[in-house]
Amino acid sequence: MTEQPDTQTEVNPFFQRPVFNCFERLLAGHLLEASKGEKPLETVIHIARAALSLTKEAAATLQIDQNLAASLFTVAQRMSTATKVTNRDGDEKYVIHLYSVKMDKDIKPWKKMEAYGYTYTEQEKKVIEEIQKDKEAIFYEALRRLTPAGYQNMVSDFLLFSIPVVEEMSRKLATLVSPETYTELLRLYYGEKKAT
């Protein structure tokens, strides 16, 4: 008779807890990812996703505006996935796909400039001149040709508005996560420190 190999793997005791709450872990995971602070747009994305994962009743109890969370998520996600394009002359431009978002709802709350720094070719000059008086049209047109400084200014204005909002959301969301769950997730994320 041949001996069967042991196929059982060691399971983290956290997953064996009798009252395992997956949703609580999901919230805690978003909060921990957001707290890293390495990429501010990612912070907005994680907190907005956590807020959007609540039921409507839970969001109302916590006084979290899920419409605002959806707006922040969409804009942050689109900004974080902006396309960087370099033309033949070596000039860089950024393209942000915000065309489907609503100006009044999603952009005006944080937009501080009429149009952020943008560039255009001689071929595109006529299009720019035709829409110069339409502030909304020029804003959307600029999204296709932002200079590096224009992109950074736009992201900065968005973050100046959104970070305080998501910080408030995160404080409210944190009330739904037990200290034990945070402790266990921290151990999973960063490993246990060994006593010396």
pLDDT tens string 62-105:
999 999 999 999 999 999 999 998 877 788 999 999 888 888 89
pLDDT value for 130: 74
Q: Give the chain's residues under pLDDT 70.
A: 1-20, 115, 192-196
For every residue of the chain, DSSP letters joined together read: -PPPP-------GGGG-TT--HHHHHHHHHHHHHHT-SSHHHHHHHHHHHHHTS-HHHHHHHT--HHHHHHHHHHHHHHHTPEEEE-TTS-EEEE---TTS-IIIIITTT--SSS--B---HHHHHHHHHHTT-HHHHHHHHTTSB-HHHHHHHHHHHHHHHHHHHHHHHHHHHTTS-HHHHHHHHHHHH-PPPP-
Return the percentage of the chain with pLDDT > 90, whole number: 44
